[in-house]
Structure 1
Amino acid sequence: MFTEIQIPVPWGHISGLWYGDRSIQPLIALHGWLDNSGTFAKLAPLLVEAAGSVLCIDLPGHGRSSHLPAGILYHIAEFIRVLTRIMQYYNWSKISLLGHSMGGGVCLYFASLYPSKVDFLISIDVVIRRINKPNFAVKALRYTMEKALRDNQRLVDDTSNEEPPSYTFAECERRLYEASGRSILLENCKYILERNISKSRIFADRYYFSRDTRLKYIMDQQSVEALGKAMAMRICAAKLPYMVLRGGASSNIGPDSLKIIGWLTEDNPNFETHLIADGLHHFHLNQPEATANLIIPFLKRYRPQSLGDGAQSDVSSELRSKAKL
C-alpha cells in the first residue's frame, strides 16, 4: 500500500510514506505539531486514485525523521525549507500540497513565498498558525528562546544516554489521546504512535516517546495581521487553488483565521472552504471518508495537469539529485 522512503539532508534524513505509483509525482502531505505521517494513514489511501500518489512526510524531529543537531533551535522556517529540499532531491519544479494544522500552516507559508512553485494547497483545520499582537509576540519569543536554550543544554550535558520514561502501549494511547485534547479518538492513536514511540531496551512490553522533546518549544512564524494579509494577498494574486476544511467541533480556526478566509474568499476565485459539522481537530483521521469526499472533487479539478510530470523515476532521479543537496 505504501513504500517507506528516506530523503538525505545535511543532518540525517527525512522519512516518509509514499502511497501509490512512485512514477507519478505525488501530492505532498504534512502533519501537525508533534504528530507524524501516520496521521494520514486512513486518508491517504482514499486519495490515491484521484491524486495518483501521495507522499506523507515526517518533518524534522517527528516520526522517523532525524532530529536536528544539539544546539539548534527548531523553527517553522526549517520545515518550509524541507519542502524546497524535497523539490531539489526529486527535481520537481512545482508541488501540490496538503497539510493538517501546523503542516497546513507550513503549506501556506511556502505558497505565499513561492506561489509559482505550487499547483494548489489544501489545509485541514488551519489557515495560519499565528497572528499575534506585537507585545505578546515579544513575550512568546523570549519564552521560546529560554526554553530552547535549556533543552539544548540538557542534550549537551546529558552523557548518560539514559532512556526516557516508558509506558505500556495502552498508557501511550491514553497519553496521546489526552495530549491531543481528545481530538484523536482513542482507537486511532495507534496510527501516530507507530512512528512516535520506540520499544524500551530495559522493560519488556513498554515504550518511550522518541520524537525530539525540543519540539515542545518550536519557534513559530510570529505573524501580525498585516503580514498575514500580505501572505494571503500573494496567494490571491496568483489565483492559487486553495481549499480549507474546518472542523465544526474544533476551535483551531479562530477569528483571525476567519478574517484571512474572508480576504481569500473576496479576492481568489479559486478559494473554497468546507465544514465538517461534528469534526474535531483530527477529523481527517477520525472521519477519513467524509474528508476524502470533500478533497477528491478538488483534486479532480486541479490535480490532472500535474500528473503527467512524473516523479522522474524512483532511483535514477534520487541518485542524480543527491549532488544538489
Structure 2
Amino acid sequence: MNQDKSNGHKIEPDLPAGVQVEEIEIPVPWGHVAGRWWGPRDKQPLIAIHGWQDNAGTWDNLIPLLPTSTSVLCLDLPGHGLSSHYPTGMLYYIFWDGIALLRRIVKHFKWSKISLMGHSLGGALSFMYAASFPDDVERIICIDIASPAVRVPENMVKATGWSVDKILEYETLSEDKIPCYDYEEMIDIVVDAYKGSVSRENCKVLMKRGMAPTPAHLKKKGYHFKRDPRLKVSGLAMMSLETALAYATKVKCKVLNIRAIPGQNWERLDYYMAVVDKLKESADVTYIEVEGTHHVQLNSPENIVNIVEDFLEMY
C-alpha cells in the first residue's frame, strides 16, 4: 500500500507553544488528498471535514485551542484546498462522494473504529458515514448541520437539468477563462460570498489553501481560486427528508450536534430538528445551541472549544 507523504512536523507562526501541525498527502487513484495533521502522529486522529467550497483551514482557529495531546487529521476534500481535482468527465456528488473517500482513507491507514468531526458538508458526511458503517464509528461531532441538505422533491427535480448543464459548462472552461484578481480584490469576493458568516481576517485564513498565484504561462498577474469550479453545482447531491430520516435510524454512535444561532439560514429548520429527534431514537445524542455564525468553528472557536473538548474526553 502506498504510504502518505509528509513534510515533517513544523511550528507555524502564531501557534501556541507545543502545538504542531504537519502537511500530508494521501494517495488516491486520481491524485492525492491533502491534509493537515495536528498533534501526535503516534495515535489515531479525530478526522475533521470542512464545509462546501471551504478547506482544511476552517479548523485552524479551533484545533490550537484543544489540548496539545489531541490528534486531528483535517482533510481537504477532492477539488478543495490542496487536494487533486476529479478528472474531466467525473461529477461531484458532494454529500455522497465523501462516504467513499472516508472509507478509502480509513482503509489506507488500516483504522478500525474512527471518530469524525465535520462542519456543514463535513458534518453531513460524518452523519452519512456513521449511518453507512454504524459498527465502525465511535462518535461524530456535527457543527451547524444534522444531515445532508434536505429539499422537497419538487425543488430537486426542478434543479436537475440546470445542474447537469452547468457542470458541463464548467468542465469545458478553458484555462485562459479562469478569472484572476489581486489579493485584496480576491478577499473582497470571498467576504461577499460568505455573507457575514466569515470575517475578513478568517477569509484570509481559508484562502491560505483556497487560492494560488496565477500560473506564469497565462501572463496574468494576481491570484485564482484553487477549488474546482464544478463544485459550485450541488443540486445533484440533495436528498428528501424521508431519506435523511432513514439514514438517521442507522446511526448508533455517540453524537454531538452543535447548532449555531443565528448560524445557517436553513430552508426548513424543522427538517434539521426532525433529523436530530430521529437520531435520539437510536443514538446517544447531545444537542447544544451556541451563539455564532454558520462558520462558528472558524469565527468564534472559543464558543465551542470547551463543548468539543468535554465531548472528546467523556467518550
Q: TM-score range by the shorter chain?
A: 0.7 to 0.9
- In structure 2, C-alpha distance between the alignment counterparts of 1:257 and 1:132, rounded to whole Å: 11
Q: Please, what TM-score do these two structures have when normalized by structure 2? A: 0.87
| 1:83 aligned residue (83, 97, 102) | 102
- In structure 1, C-alpha distance between the alignment counterparts of 2:122 and 2:283, rounded to whole Å: 24
Whether the 8 Å CA contact 1:61–1:215 is kept in 2: the answer is yes
Paired residue for 1:264? 279
The reply on whether 1:214 has 2:230 as its aligned counterpart is yes
Structure 1 counterpart SS, 2:250: helix
- In structure 1, C-alpha distance between the alignment counterparts of 2:220 and 2:67, rounded to whole Å: 40
Paired residue for 2:44? 25
Gaps spanning 5+ residues in structure 2: where? 1-19
- In structure 2, C-alpha distance between the alignment counterparts of 1:224 and 1:17, rounded to whole Å: 33
- In structure 2, C-alpha distance between the alignment counterparts of 1:216 and 1:133, rounded to whole Å: 20
Whether the 8 Å CA contact 1:48–1:54 is kept in 2: the answer is no
Whether the 8 Å CA contact 2:123–2:145 is kept in 1: the answer is yes
Whether the 8 Å CA contact 1:87–1:93 is kept in 2: the answer is yes
When residues 250 and 75 of structure 1 are mapped into structure 2, their CA distance, relative to the original with a 3 A threshold, is same
Give the partner amino acid of 1:260: V
Paired residue for 1:46? 65
Structure 1 counterpart SS, 2:304: helix
Whether the 8 Å CA contact 1:73–1:218 is kept in 2: the answer is no
- In structure 1, C-alpha distance between the alignment counterparts of 2:117 and 2:220, rounded to whole Å: 39
- In structure 2, C-alpha distance between the alignment counterparts of 1:257 and 1:10, rounded to whole Å: 35
- In structure 1, C-alpha distance between the alignment counterparts of 2:235 and 2:151, rounded to whole Å: 14
Q: Which 4+ runs in 1 deviate beyond 6 A?
A: none
How far apart are 1:168 and its partner, in Å?
2.0
How far apart are 1:228 and its partner, in Å?
1.3
Paired residue for 1:129? 148
| 1:59 aligned residue (72, 77, 80) | 77
Q: Which aligned pairs between 1:39-188 and structure 2 lie closer than 5 A?
A: 39-49=58-68, 52-76=70-94, 77-152=96-171, 154-155=172-173, 158=174, 161-162=175-176, 164-188=178-202
Q: Please, what TM-score do these two structures have when normalized by structure 1? A: 0.85
Give the partner amino acid of 1:167: Y
Encode CA deviations 1:202-226: one digit per residue, 9 max, x unaligned. 355x211111000001354432222
Whether the 8 Å CA contact 1:105–1:127 is kept in 2: the answer is yes
Gaps spanning 5+ residues in structure 1: where? 303-325
- In structure 2, C-alpha distance between the alignment counterparts of 1:102 and 1:255, rounded to whole Å: 18
After superposing the two structures, state which structure 1 stretch, 138-147 or 86-95, moved more. Answer: 138-147
Whether the 8 Å CA contact 1:233–1:264 is kept in 2: the answer is yes
| 1:280 aligned residue (293, 300, 311) | 293
Structure 1 counterpart SS, 2:65: helix
How far apart are 1:286 and its partner, in Å?
1.0
Whether the 8 Å CA contact 1:126–1:252 is kept in 2: the answer is no
User: Which structure has the highest helix share of the two?
Assistant: 1
How far apart are 1:134 and its partner, in Å?
2.0
When residues 290 and 139 of structure 1 are mapped into structure 2, their CA distance, relative to the original with a 3 A threshold, is same
| 1:231 aligned residue (211, 230, 247) | 247
How far apart are 1:72 and its partner, in Å?
0.9
Give the partner amino acid of 2:74: C
Whether the 8 Å CA contact 2:148–2:244 is kept in 1: the answer is no
When residues 252 and 128 of structure 1 are mapped into structure 2, their CA distance, relative to the original with a 3 A threshold, is farther
Alignment length (residue pairs): 290
Structure 1 counterpart SS, 2:61: coil
How far apart are 1:48 and its partner, in Å?
4.6
- In structure 2, C-alpha distance between the alignment counterparts of 1:65 and 1:88, rounded to whole Å: 18
Paired residue for 1:317? none
